[in-house]
Amino acid sequence: MQAGSFQLMKKMNQQIILKLIDDREAISRAEIAEISGLSPATVTNITRALLQMGLIRESREGESRGGRKPVLLELNPAGAYFIGLEWGIAELRGVLINLNREVIAYKAVAVESYDFASFLQLSTEIVYNLLKDSIDRSRIYGLGVGVHGLVDPERGYSLYAPHFKWRDIPVRRELEERLKLPVLIDNDVRVMALAEKWNGRKDFVLINTGPGIGAAIVLDGDLHYGRNYSAGEFGHMTVIKGGPLCSCGNTGCLEALVSTDNLVYRYKPEMKKEKSRQELDKEWLKLLDEARKGVGGACQVIGEIGEYLGMGISNLVNLLNPDEIILAGYFTAGVDLLLPLLRKEVEGRVLKIPGRELAIKVTEFGNQVGAIGAATMVLQDLFNFQEGE
C-alpha cells in the first residue's frame, strides 16, 4: 500500500473509532472491533494513538464477558476545542465548545457598522476573549463562521449579503491570515440547522426570523444546499400577488410581510425609516409587549405573522414532509404569542398526511444556536462525525 493510501486509511479508521466512542459515550476496545469490523490489533494501535493525542481517555471498567473486566474508552472533553461565530445583522456572537459539544465560553458584541474590516476586528476581539481562560491554543482545531446571505463554503466567500451590502468577500482567507487558524464558513441559517442536527434531528426545516427570513432544510440527515448554495431562500416565497415591495425587487414576498422591520413599520407607519438597528430591535420588543397587553393594532400585526408565516410553513410541509419546523431568531421572543397562531394556521392549511404528527417548536439553543452550529461545523469537518454514517 502506498504511503498516501495508508495515511488515508489510518485517518478513516480514526474517524470510525472516534464516531463509535462518541455515539456510545463509553465503549471497550473489543466492542469497537466487533462493531467496526476492524481487527483487534488495528483498534489497539489507533486507540493508543488517540490516547496519546489526548482526544480520548480511559474511564471506568466495563462488564466482563469472562475474564478481566475491559477498560472503557470515552472522549476527552478537553482534548479539542472549536470556536464558532455567527455574523448576525444585530450582533456578532461567539462560542467556544469542547469535544463533548459543551459551551465553555460565550461572547456577544453589538454590530455598529457593516464594514467588512469592522467585522474582522470584532471577530478577532471575540476570539481572543473566548480563549483568554488558559485554553491551550494547540487544542484549538479551528473556527467556523455563519454568515448572513449567500455563501460559497468551498471557496470561503460571502457571495451576497444583502443587509451588509457585501458581494464576493473572501471571508475565510482574511480570517485565516488574521487569526492563524483553520476557518470554515457557511450561511448563518444552515449552521443553525447543523446545531439542531447534532441533537439527533434528521428531517426538519429551521426557519430563522428577524430583519430577514431564511430557512435551512435537513432531510434524512443531509443538509440541502441546492445547485449553487442558494437553497433556503424561504423569505422570498411569494404569498400575496401584488403585495408589498420586497428588498429583492419582487412583490408579495414573505419577508416583505413578516420581517421584524416591516412589521414594526407597519405598526408605526409614522416612524422614520432611518431608525438604527438597535432602535428597530427595541421597537420589535415593544410591539410584542403591546400585543400581550391586548393593544388592538399590535394584536393585528401579530395575527398577520400567524397568517402569512403559517401559509409559508404549510407550503414547506406539503412540499417536504418534515418531522419538525424549528423557529430561531427574533420570533422566539414572542413564542407565547406566535406558536399557538402558527400551529392553528398550519393545521387549517396543511394536507392531512404531511401534517400528521408535525411538530412546530423553538430552538433549544436560544440566541447561541448560530455560533454553536458554526463551531459544530468545524468539529464535523475535522472528525467527520456525520450523523447517519
Q: Which residue has the cell 433549544?
A: 364
Domains 80-195+369-383 and 200-363 share a fold: yes
The neighbour count for residue 319, using CB atoms within 10 Å, is 11
Q: Is the per-residue pLDDT at 197 higher than 50? A: yes
Q: Which residues share a beta bridge with 359?
A: 324
Which CATH number is correct for 3-75, 3.40.50.720, 1.10.10.10, 3.40.50.10440, 3.30.590.10? 1.10.10.10
pLDDT score of 62 more than 90: no
DSSP string spanning 102-150? -EEEEEEEE-----HHHHHHHHHHHHHHHTTTT--GGGEEEEEEEESSE
Question: How far is Cα of residue 360 from the mean position of the Cα atoms in its chain?
Answer: 17
Give the pLDDT confidence score for residue 382 in this predicted structure.
Answer: 67
Q: Which of 164, 18, 142 is nearest to 84 (CA)?
A: 142
**What would the mean pLDDT of 41-46 be, rounded to a whole number?**
93
Amino acid identity of residue 254, one-letter, is L
Mean pLDDT score, 264-288: 91
Whole-number Å distance between alpha carbons of 359 and 324: 5
Q: Following CA atoms 374, 380, 381, 386 in sequence, which dihedral angle do they give, to the nearest 10 degrees?
A: -130
Q: Look at 181 and 199; give whichever has higher pLDDT.
A: 181
Summarize pLDDT for 80-113 with one digit per residue, the tens.
999 999 999 989 999 999 999 999 999 999 998 9
Q: Which strands, in side-by-side order, build the sheet including 140-147?
A: 103-110, 91-98, 81-87, 140-147, 183-187
Mean pLDDT within 198-227: 94
The model's pTM is: 0.91
Quick one: fold of 80-195+369-383? Answer: Nucleotidyltransferase; domain 5 (3.30.420)
Mean pLDDT lowest among 65-69, 122-126, 245-249, 341-345: 65-69
CA separation for the pair 38, 34 (Å, rounded): 7
Strand bridging mode 140-147 / 183-187: parallel
Within 8 A by CB and 6+ apart from 117, the residues are: none
**pLDDT tens for residues 333-357?**
999 999 999 999 999 999 999 999 9
360-375 confidence digits (pLDDT tens): 999 999 999 999 999 9
In the CATH scheme, what architecture does the domain 200-363 have?
2-Layer Sandwich (3.30)
Report the pLDDT value the prediction gives residue 235, as an integer from 0 to 100. Answer: 95
Residue 74's SS3 state is strand
Among 69-78, 213-222, 297-306, 380-389, which is the least confidently predicted range? 380-389
The answer to whether residues 163 and 119 touch, using CB atoms and an 8 Å cutoff, is no
Is 329 buried (19+), middle (13-18) or exposed (0-12) by CB count in 10 A?
A: buried
Are 143 and 180 within 8 A, CB to CB? no
Give residue limits of the domains in the chain.
3-75, 80-195+369-383, 200-363
